[in-house]
Amino acid sequence: MSLQEIYKKINTISPKMELSQVEIELSLVEDINKLLDSTNAKRKQLTAQGLKISEQLLGLTVDYNKILSISIDAANKAKELGIADAEKLFRVRGSEAKDYSDTVGKVSNLIANSLHSI
């Protein structure tokens, strides 16, 4: 709505209103519009940053899955060699990588879905 339209509405609502009162009200409308525009610009900027973080988190799942695969291979080799402690360590670390992958993937999706809703 333009300032002229706002002025006409104010004048229609209260034709006896002093010009200074109308100017104050119009000034307040301008102030509110500027603040809202500024805040919306910040929100858009932060949303974009948040989506980038979400994408980076999702990229970590690829790394965690590689770690899982390497850990499984290492555990199998340790088992073949009869090194039980090493096998256990590799399986535990692989399980940890899988847990992180699952958690990071879920968080990434939650962030992205939340940000797309605002």
- DSSP string across the chain: --HHHHHHHHHHH-TT--HHHHHHHHHHHHHHHHHHHHHHHHHHHHHHHHHHHHHHHHHHHHHHHHHHHHHHHHHHHHHHHT-HHHHHHHHHHHHHHHHHHHHHHHHHHHHHHHHHT-
Q: Residue 78 CB: number of other CB atoms within 10 A?
A: 18
The mean of the pLDDT values for the chain is 89
Band of pLDDT at residue 20, cut at 50, 70 and 90: low
Which of 11-20, 24-33, 79-88 has the highest mean predicted lDDT (pLDDT)?
A: 79-88
pTM above the 0.75 mark?
A: no
Q: Is-contact 97 65, C-beta < 8 A?
A: yes
- What are the structural domain ranges in the chain? 18-116
Q: Is-contact 51 28, C-beta < 8 A?
A: no
Structure tokens at 106: 């879920």
Q: What's the CA gap between 118 and 113, in Å, rounded?
A: 9
